[in-house]
Each structure stands twice: as C-alpha cells, then as structure tokens.
Chain A
Amino acid sequence: MIVGGLDIGSATGKAVVIKDGNVVGASVLCSTARPVETADLVMNEAIRQAGLSSIDHLDKVVCTGYGRLSIPFAEENLSEISCHARGAHWLVPSIRTVVDIGGQDCKVISVSEKGTVLDFKMNDRCAAGTGRFFEAMARALCCGLDGISSLDNQGDEPCTISNQCSVFAESEVVTLVNEGIDLANIIAGINLSVASRLSSMARRVGIVNEVTLTGGCSKNEGLAQALAKKLGIELRQLPQDPQIAGALGAAIFAGERLEASDDGTS
C-alpha cells in the first residue's frame, strides 16, 4: 500500500509518501500563487524520492492545510489540526501536546493516547506568533530568518516587544534598532514575545507532557528555547523534520482510511 499526504500551507507546500508503514518520500517547497500547482510540484518531488513515476501510483491521497479544498488528486481533506496531531504522535507516541507554528497561524493541540485531538486553540486572525510575523521581523532587522532562529543570536536581556501586531511590532523593532539596542537582545525579545503568546494559548488547552513543536517555525531554535523556558519543560524533538508533521499525518490518515474501506469491502 502506497499512500500520500499533502499539506498545502500559506507559505510552503509539504508532501509525504508512505509505503507499507515507512516514509519513503518527503518534500517541502515554497507555495506558489496557485495551491494546485504547489501540490503538483511538491508531491511529484516526494514521489520521485519514493522511486515512483506518477501520482497515479498512490492508492490514496489525503490533503490538509489552507489549500486543502482545491486539490483534485486528493480524495479527502482533513484539518491541519488533526493531521499535525496524528503526524507528531505517529513519530513519538508519547506526545500529548503539539504546538504547531505555521506561516499564517499557530495552534496548540491536545492529543490523546491514540493520537486523536482532545482539544485545541488557534490564534486570532492576525499574524502574531506566526511565520509571517517572523518574516516581518527579519525584514525589519535585515537579518534573515536564520538570524532570528540561531541560538548564537539570543541575547541575555531580551527587549520588551509589546505589540503583537506584526505591522506595529515591525516599527517597534525599527525604533529599537535606531536606538542602538543590541541586535541579539531584540531578537531574544521577539522570540520571547511569541513564546509568551504561545505559552498563554498552551495553558488554555492545558500542557501535558510530552510537548513538541511542529510547523515551519519549529526550526526557530531561539523560539523553541524561549518557549521551553516559558512552559518550564523540555520540548521533545521529533525524529523527522517537524515541518512535514501535517503532511505525514495526512498520509497516515490516508493509509487508515484505505485499510478501513478495504476491510469494509472484503
């Protein structure tokens, strides 16, 4: 059985191919303006890695993410929340809380022993605490996303970034830069402000160990460090790229659905 999972997000598209319970292909690409095109590109790359020649070789594809409704070759769509929970739990079955920070929203998900969703909270409609926010900050600091995430750049005295709105926070950061504040402390302040927001959301769901980060921003080590500190726990690292957790979850669902329907017909 070969199944695929797609996660078409606002910033990136992710695809995973699973063959007989093993991940045989996984890819991440920047989103194009058209979700269908992103899906095609990213899935073809995963398929190539899996040594397949066509999407038709997949027995079933499940899609998630913002673009999930418009992908013709995905038979089913599921919310990112279920998929991230499922994907992270599949990788580390002891995971009970998933913090997913994507391009335009962030979520805290409470996961059951079986990997199903017990409860979740999602950010408001603004970009606060998301990839977009970090992009805006990186722009204001002219340092690139790597600059914000590198552990070498996290100052010991984080500045207070009071604005959660990325537009206002950007000008706040510009002011700090002009005041000659140490870049590392500004960066630490940015990560701390997002970590505070995530920690607040996490507490609304209830933090149960083990906790992991998924989504593109999970690669921001500075943020991960600040969040672990805020929550007062160690975050569990996933053995695979945490950015593909959603696509992975979608692929696992595809496999399960296929099995269930096979059972039903035979």
Chain B
Amino acid sequence: MDVQAVKTQSLARYKEERDWFALLAEAAKQMPTSEGELQVKLLEILLDSKQTVVDCVENDKPFIGGYFCNAPELFHAMDLPWFMLMETPFLAASAPYLLNDIEGAEEMGMGTDLCTAIRLPIYYIENGLMPVPTALLGLLYPCDGAPMLHQVIEHNKVWKDVPIYACDPPYTSDERAVQYFAEELSRMVEFLEKHTGKTLDVDRLKQVCEESNRTYSLWQDYNELRRSVPSPHGWAIGGAQAFAISQCFVAGDPRCSAWFEQLCKCAEERVAAGKGASDQEGWKEKIRLFWFDIMPYGWIFEYMPWLESEWGATIVMDMFGNFPYTLIDTSSRETMLHDLAKRNLLDAPMIRQARGTAENFSNDIRRIVTDYKIDCVIWPGHMGHKDGSATIGIMRDTCRELGVPFLHIGLDLFDKRYTSIDEVKDKTSDFFRGMGLA
C-alpha cells in the first residue's frame, strides 16, 4: 500500500469513527438529565477533536499522533492537534467494526496473549487504517506492549518516514527519576519544534498549566463528593470521562475546567439531596465497589448497568477516575516541565501503578478503600495487564489486611468473546453472594 492509498483509506475510517461518535452524541441528547448534558458536552469536545484531525489530514496541516500520559499540556500549548494511538479501543470499542478488527489482528498472528489495546493499533497501522501524522509521540510504558507497538510503527513501510519520539519513563519514582523524565519531556518539545514548525512559548505554557491546575483542582473537589454515601455518581459519569477530557482532548483548556465545574455542580446537588448514582432508575446503592482498572469498553453497556440493577453495586471509584492532584509550579519553563513530569510519571493512572514497582497497587487500594468506604475491590484481570496480573497476590493480601473482599476475574476489556459476559456476571454474582455483600 502506498502513502496516498493509506491516506485515503485511513481518512475514510477516521471519518467513520467520527460519525459513530456523532451518533452517540445524538443518543446522549435524548437523556434529559444534567449528567446526560455532560455526556453530550464530552462527546462534542471529542467530535471537535476528531474533526480537527480530519481537517489537518485533508488540508496538509501539521498534527501529531500520541500515546496517553505524556504531558498533553505541552503539545496543547504548542497548538498541535493530536489523536491517540489507542483511540479506537479506548473510546470506540462499541463501534460496529471492532470485533472484525480484532479478528483481523488475529489473522496477523496477534492472538489473545497480546493485549487487545496493543494489537488493534498494530492492525490499524499495518493495514493502513490510521491517519499518518506529521510526527508521532510515544511512551514506553506502562506495559511491554507499548514499545512493541512503537517499533511496529517504525518498521512499517508507510510510517517509516514519520519522525517518532518516545518518552522513556524510568522504573524508579524518586526525584532523580522525575528529573530524568522532565529531561525526556524537554527533548520531546525539541523534537516537536523541529518536526512540526511550531514552537513552545513559555507564557502560553504557563497559561495552559494554570488552566490545567484549575481542572485538576476541580477534579479533586469532584472526587471528594464521590466519597458521599450514597455516591452521587457511578460508572456512567465522572470516572473515565474525567480522564479522557483532562488528558486526552483538551488538557489545560477552559472547556475542560468548565466541564468539571458542571460535573461538580451536578454531584453537589445530588449529595445535598442525598441521592445515589441512579436513584431515578429505582435502585439503591448496596455495594460500594472499587473497579481497579479501566472500564470494560468493549461491553460496558452489557455489564455495568447490570451491576447496578441486579446488585445495587456502585462503582464509586475506578483506576482512571482517580488522579492524585499535583500542582504545577508555573514560575518557569523548568518548574513546569518538572511538575508535568512528576504528574505524568507518578500520578497518571495506569502509569502510576504499572510503570514501576508494585507498591501503588497496594497504596491505592489502601487509600481508596478507606477514603471512599469501599466494600469490595475488583481487579478485572484484563488479558493485557500482565504486570498487574503478576501482582494479584499482593493486592489480595492488601485487601485481606483491610478486611474487604477481592475479586480477580480474568477477561478482555475490549473483546467479550475472551470471557463471555455471562461468565463475568456469574463470577461477579458468586463473589457478591459468597462474600455476603448481597
């Protein structure tokens, strides 16, 4: 396949995905609640970001591809539109073509022992289904799949000429590690300046970081509200979306803070009225759950509402809704790079747990179980999260020490064929019953 063919084909696919979100946005508009309004706003921001990429491809404007958690404030301040390499599994896992794409990956020899969030982008790159950006940013953690995905990109004949810079987070978590990662980010900025023609203006970065601080502080406030019993929100709003909006689309953008403001307002009203996540749907919160991973995007609608309606189980906190708040000191370029490094190395979900030694698996369980009055912890055991699956003993011990039950399921967050939904439900039900939670 030549560059032109890839350009045409990937653009068509990208538009198809954009239209899929447009469809979802239309559906969300039918929801009369303020939470529905928030969903719509999120989808509109997402659509806007997709449309911008389409515009860049069509009009040969610079744009970049990127991973998650490599300090998006930096390229936002450089006014560089971007898309995320794992956008489809993370955001469009309910799209009609997803299961076919997984089969396509399997036909390439990428079976179920390679993370679906990695094999899908590999499939897209190798089959010309991903827009070819001006430059590409990678990140070499949280898992072994990440560097392999980036290496396939370098190896691909069409992508070979796309300049790529991958940040290399160290394995340790002390000040020396933060310094090193800040230097990695600084080299990333140099790389972007060289290959996109854009520059990083310190004042602009300052503006973005200040806005980003505001966002994260609102997020902090919001998460305080989720401590209430019953929790004002569950799986449907405020967890994964909070991450998507703050890290993936509009980092350090007033639209982002505005969204969080509204989110807080919604939650405040519910807390004041003593309302639980979905009181209007007629169920009561009985089990407060910590879902310690990303959401099962491939079959979220088939499982999460069931948790609520069948068991009164609220996902009070999940891995991506939980982002410890580190203020960015905006006094200079150096302080900003340093604190962005710190945030993206030590705070950013999944990177925070899976990038280094395992203590944050237990630290987070301890903190969240206590702060959010959690009744039980579920480690879904996604087939790609191998380091986490090598930490189940440690997690189980922590839960035992805290006196909360722990469930490890074993599934694919994106592909419901790996472990069928019925099986996941059976395991969950047995767990709730067996542990006396129901």
Contact = CB atoms under 8 A, between A and B. Distances in A.
Contacts of A199: 107
Contacts of A175: 422
Nearest to B415: A162
Contact of B417 (A162, A200, A204): A162
Nearest to A193: B417
Contact of B108 (A163, A172, A204): A204
A200 B417 CA distance: 15
A175 B421 CA distance: 13
Interface string A109-121: 0000000000000
Interface string B9-23: 000000000000000
Contact of A203 (B107, B418, B420, B422): B107
B197 interface: no
Interface of B: 103, 106-109, 416-420, 422
B103 A196 contact: yes
Contacts of B108: 204
Contact of B416 (A162, A172, A203): A162
Contacts of B107: 199-200, 203-204
Interface string A168-200: 000010010000000000000000000010011
Counting chain B CB atoms within 10 Å of each CB, which of A163, A196, A200 scores highest?
A200
12 contacts: A160-B417, A160-B420, A162-B416, A162-B417, A162-B419, A162-B420, A163-B420, A172-B420, A175-B422, A196-B103, A200-B103, A204-B108
Interface of A: 160, 162-163, 172, 175, 196, 199-200, 203-204
Contacts, number: 19
A241 B422 CA distance: 41
Contacts of B419: 162
Instruction: Label chain A's interface by main secondary structure.
Output: helix
Contacts of A163: 420
Instruction: Label chain B's interface by main secondary structure.
Output: loop
A107 B226 CA distance: 54
Contact of A200 (B106, B416, B418, B420): B106
A203 B416 CA distance: 22
B75 to A, nearest CB: 38
B314 to A, nearest CB: 28
Nearest to B426: A175
A203 B107 CA distance: 6
Contacts of A203: 107
B127 to A, nearest CB: 12
A80 to B, nearest CB: 21
Contacts of B418: 162
Contacts of B420: 160, 162-163, 172
Complex A-B, nearest 7 residue pairs according to Cβ-Cβ distance, in ascending order: A203-B107, A162-B417, A162-B420, A200-B106, A200-B107, A204-B109, A204-B107
A175 B109 CA distance: 31
Nearest to B109: A204
Nearest to B104: A203
A264 to B, nearest CB: 41
Nearest to A196: B103
Nearest to A202: B107
B425 to A, nearest CB: 12
A37 to B, nearest CB: 37
